[in-house]
């Protein structure tokens, strides 16, 4: 049964997804593993987890109401914002393309050394979405979705095997209707075809395309202002004519050739072109501090705003991976060469805007006809990378992982009317991991991971670009698997430091310098227990201390915004019989600071419960989900903007195979 991803799962994917480690063994059912999966296979079991959509569906039946393409990448991984991801092993440059959820087969959660193989500068972890691929038989599925606010969706998934050499799969999706926010609507269409051609028994060619648009009411981003945060999550303080539109075109081409010795050669290309436009009235954070936005009478200051962004990404990856012996030591190896280019242009225009009452909004204000340009720039990077990851089997119980990423890049930045500034630099990111099978039930592991990431799109007061950000993680873990595999538990301790973080330049306060440092320490516990084959519990808990360890302005020890110290999630699933299944998911996040620097506004502790019921037959199924059943208020934060948790919402999805 084709399944989708629940809102609570995606808000907290880094931990929630890690509950399903057992899905690793079933990854082959989802289609051909990606290169990130192959690379992850060179790491220890507890650091590379593959979660199938069928497992993800256990926590709910629909994608988030805020669907925009890659919602799950807005999470924090071990204390740091996950602002980029991988697509079928391709590196993303931090500006996420609008990938359609309808095309995702599974999500890999990469931790430790495996997470740094393809860059991104996140030693703590990464997420890789895996596309649906053609299978070995024909398949046709249609699903219809409706939510209580009035949003509806139709999805079609068609796969055909033309002959012994050619197969294809097409996923398409259309959204339309109202979201839970007052006077907000969405209109979205995407189509994702994939063609697989076995040119010879050893040579396979795969071509894929992701294209479509998202048109939505542009909702001003909530910020850390106590008066604004006291409002219902449904409150809309923009204008009904506010509009935002994203158009995406992404193409992928991959050649896979199997050599006589069993090794594989892979050549992959990705090209993406995406545009984003919005216009309307938003909060005036350009001229007022956060605590000044709302006056004593409840009027929030607004500004006329128009944004326009264009991005293009090209990535080429050439890889060889396989198994060999080095001085009689078995080794799984991967060696790759990556060539990439990322270009981004952005323009921001603002003007006067009428205020609106936060308690009794009256709409009808128009945008100003006179806008002033506040930002007009183009920037990007070219990179050339050599990467390798190798796992040595030193003994039947011991494995050593050695990896390195060597990168040469050129960044550039050009402000309107100014001379283009560029910078060349080199990055070196080694990593090492060791696992030891203590006995058939216990595995111990240690790892040290280093990562580097260029900082593009900003320059110092002297006009120079910044040196790359560097990250280091040390991690130890212990994994237990019961003899009958009814219980699986993993305990992980980690320490992460990120250096060269941008902070305020005291000599030129309108600019930044790259001398900041951020740290994160924590412990994670993941557990999966099957009481019976029909009754299963997944649980996760973590303690994370993420804080400022060096800065020119911020106090050392200040907590990083949006990161809860305590996090807990539980999911209990029960198959009553082959037709009926029930599920309940609980999530708790402790109190967090809303911004950095801390302005005194906090995000309260939050807990929510999702309930779901599924009835299925051989041909059709229906899922009913009550999201946030207790209608609890809660917020997430990326360190500045704040997102309300979805209020209570009924969601119904019906599927039919034909």
200 torsion bin: left (phi>0), alpha (psi -120 to 50), beta (else):
beta
331, 267, 342, 72: CA torsion to nearest 10 = -70
Q: Where are the beta strands (DSSP E) in 22-131?
A: 48-52, 76-77, 80-81, 86-87, 90-91, 104-110, 126-131
Q: Which residue has the tokens 């019989």?
A: 577
Residue 519 confidence (pLDDT) above 50? yes
pLDDT, position 188: 92
pLDDT, position 109: 66
pLDDT, position 83: 63
The 8-class DSSP code of residue 228 comes to H
Residue 14 confidence (pLDDT) above 50? no
pLDDT, position 65: 28
Residue 168 confidence (pLDDT) above 50? yes
pTM given for the model: 0.84
Q: Band of the pLDDT at 455, cuts 50, 70, 90?
A: confident
Q: What share of the chain is helix, strand, coil (3-state, %, to 5)?
A: 10, 60, 35
- Say which residue, 19 or 157, is predicted with more confidence: 157
Residue 634 confidence (pLDDT) above 70? yes
pLDDT, position 137: 82
- What is the number of other CB atoms lying within 10 angstroms of the CB of residue 588? 16
Q: Band of the pLDDT at 118, cuts 50, 70, 90?
A: low
pLDDT, position 116: 60
Residue 464 confidence (pLDDT) above 60? yes
Which domains does the chain carry?
7-657 (2.40.170.20)
Residue 19 confidence (pLDDT) above 80? no
Residue 70 confidence (pLDDT) above 70? no
Give 629-636 contacts, CB < 8 A, sequence gap 24+. Answer: 632/606, 632/607, 632/608, 633/233, 633/604, 633/606, 634/589, 634/603, 634/604, 634/606, 634/607, 634/608, 635/222, 635/229, 635/594, 635/603, 635/604, 635/606, 636/11, 636/74, 636/562, 636/603
Instruction: Indicate the range of 91-100, 133-142, 459-468, 606-615 predicted with least confidence.
Output: 91-100
CA distances from 5 to 36, 65, 104, 500 (A): 21, 11, 10, 36
Cα separation, 249 vs 99, in Å, equals 10
* Spatial contact of 198 and 260, defined as CB atoms under 8 Å apart: no
pLDDT, position 597: 85
Exposure b/e, 328-357, CB count within 10 A at least 16 = b: eeebbbbebebebbbbbbbbbbbeebbbbe
Residue 163 confidence (pLDDT) above 50? yes
Instruction: Indicate the range of 148-152, 365-369, 432-436 predicted with least confidence.
Output: 432-436
Cα separation, 417 vs 375, in Å, equals 11
pLDDT, position 140: 92
Q: What is the mean pLDDT of the chain?
A: 83
Q: Band of the pLDDT at 429, cuts 50, 70, 90?
A: confident
* Spatial contact of 124 and 116, defined as CB atoms under 8 Å apart: no
Q: Band of the pLDDT at 18, cuts 50, 70, 90?
A: very low
Question: pLDDT by residue (tens digit) across 569-597?
Answer: 888 999 999 999 999 988 888 999 998 88
pLDDT, position 643: 85
Q: Band of the pLDDT at 504, cuts 50, 70, 90?
A: confident
pLDDT, position 89: 65
Instruction: Indicate the range of 217-226, 633-642, 648-657 predicted with least confidence.
Output: 633-642
pLDDT, position 3: 27
Exposure b/e, 73-105, CB count within 10 A at least 16 = b: bbbbbbbbbbbbbbbbbbbbbbbbbbbbbbbbb
Residues β-bridged to residue 350: 305, 372
Cα separation, 282 vs 288, in Å, equals 13
Give the residue from 119, 115, 112 showing the smallest Cα distance to 93.
119
* Residue 597, preceding peptide bond in cis (omega within 30° of 0): yes
Pairing of strands 126-131, 86-87: parallel
Cα separation, 128 vs 131, in Å, equals 10
Residue 128 confidence (pLDDT) above 80? no
Residue 565 confidence (pLDDT) above 70? yes
Instruction: Indicate the range of 116-130, 238-252, 484-498 predicted with least confidence.
Output: 116-130
Cα separation, 210 vs 129, in Å, equals 13
pLDDT, position 63: 28
Of 38-42, 95-99, 532-536, highest mean pLDDT? 532-536
Instruction: Indicate the range of 8-12, 173-177, 211-215, 427-431 predicted with least confidence.
Output: 8-12
pLDDT, position 249: 92
Residue 74 confidence (pLDDT) above 60? no
Question: pLDDT by residue (tens digit) across 24-47?
Answer: 222 223 333 344 444 333 333 333
- Say which residue, 510 or 172, is predicted with more confidence: 172
CA 317 to the chain's CA centroid = 21
Give the phi and the psi of residue 22 in degrees, each rounded to 5: -65, -20
Average pLDDT rounded to a whole number, residues 380-384: 91
Residue 413 confidence (pLDDT) above 70? yes
Per-residue DSSP letters for 390-411?
Answer: EEEE-SSSEEEEEEEEEEEEEE
Pairing of strands 442-453, 469-481: antiparallel
């Amino acid at each position: 049964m084709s399944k989708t991803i629940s809102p609570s799962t995606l808000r907290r994917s880094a931990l929630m997804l890690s509950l399903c480690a057992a899905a690793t063994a079933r990854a082959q059912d989802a289609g051909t593993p990606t290169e990130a999966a192959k690379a992850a296979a060179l790491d220890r079991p507890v650091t590379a987890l593959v979660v199938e959509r069928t497992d993800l569906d256990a926590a709910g039946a629909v994608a988030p109401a805020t669907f925009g393409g890659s919602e799950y990448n807005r999470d924090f991984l071990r204390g740091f914002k996950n602002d980029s991801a991988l697509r079928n092993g391709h590196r993303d440059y931090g500006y996420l393309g609008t990938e359609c959820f309808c095309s995702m087969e599974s999500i890999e959660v990469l931790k430790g050394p495996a997470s740094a193989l393809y860059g991104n500068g996140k030693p703590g972890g990464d997420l890789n979405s895996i596309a649906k691929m053609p299978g070995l038989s024909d398949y046709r599925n249609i699903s219809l979705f409706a939510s209580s606010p009035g949003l509806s969706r139709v999805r079609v998934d068609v796969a055909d095997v033309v002959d012994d050499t050619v197969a294809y799969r097409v996923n398409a999706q259309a959204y339309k209707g109202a979201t839970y926010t007052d006077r907000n609507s969405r209109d979205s269409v995407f189509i994702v075809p994939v063609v697989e051609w076995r040119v010879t028994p050893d040579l396979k060619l795969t071509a894929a395309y992701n294209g479509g648009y998202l048109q939505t009411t542009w909702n001003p981003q909530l910020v850390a202002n106590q008066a604004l945060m006291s409002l219902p999550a449904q409150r809309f303080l923009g204008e009904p004519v506010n509009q935002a539109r994203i158009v995406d075109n992404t193409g992928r081409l991959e050649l896979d050739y199997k050599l006589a010795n069993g090794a594989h050669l892979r050549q992959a290309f990705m090209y993406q072109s995406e545009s984003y436009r919005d216009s309307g009235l938003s909060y005036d954070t350009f001229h007022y501090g956060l605590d000044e936005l709302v006056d004593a009478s409840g009027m929030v200051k607004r500004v006329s705003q128009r944004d326009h962004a264009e991005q293009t990404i090209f990535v080429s990856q050439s890889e060889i991976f396989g198994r060999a012996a080095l001085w009689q030591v078995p080794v799984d190896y991967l060696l790759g060469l990556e060539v990439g280019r990322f270009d981004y242009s952005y323009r921001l225009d603002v003007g006067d805007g009428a205020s609106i009452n936060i308690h009794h909004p009256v709409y009808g204000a128009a945008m100003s006809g006179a806008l002033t340009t506040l930002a007009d720039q183009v920037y990007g990077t070219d990179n050339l990378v050599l990467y390798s990851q190798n796992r040595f089997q030193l003994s039947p119980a011991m494995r050593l992982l050695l990896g390195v990423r060597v990168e040469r890049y050129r960044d550039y930045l050009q402000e309107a009317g100014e001379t283009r500034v560029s910078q060349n630099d080199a990055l070196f990111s080694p990593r090492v991991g060791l696992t030891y099978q203590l006995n058939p039930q216990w595995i111990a592991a240690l790892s040290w991971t280093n990562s580097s990431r260029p900082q593009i799109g900003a320059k110092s007061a002297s006009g120079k670009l910044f040196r790359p950000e560097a990250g280091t993680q040390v991690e130890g873990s212990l994994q237990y698997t019961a003899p009958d595999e009814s219980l699986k538990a993993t305990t992980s301790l980690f320490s992460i430091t990120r250096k060269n973080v941008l902070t305020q330049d005291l000599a030129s306060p309108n600019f930044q310098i790259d001398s900041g440092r951020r740290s994160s320490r924590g412990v994670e516990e993941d557990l999966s227990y099957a009481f019976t084959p029909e009754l299963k519990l997944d649980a996760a808990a973590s303690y994370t201390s993420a804080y400022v360890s060096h800065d020119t302005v911020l106090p050392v020890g200040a907590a990083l915004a949006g990161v809860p110290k305590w996090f807990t999630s539980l999911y209990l699933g029960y198959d009553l019989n082959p037709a009926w299944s029930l599920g309940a998911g609980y999530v708790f996040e402790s109190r967090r600071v809303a911004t950095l620097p801390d302005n005194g506004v906090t995000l309260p502790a939050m807990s929510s419960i999702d309930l779901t019921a599924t009835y299925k037959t051989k041909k059709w199924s229906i899922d009913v989900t009550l999201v946030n059943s207790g209608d609890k208020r809660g917020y997430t934060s990326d360190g500045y903007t704040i997102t309300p948790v979805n209020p209570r919402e009924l969601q119904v999805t019906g599927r039919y195979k034909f």
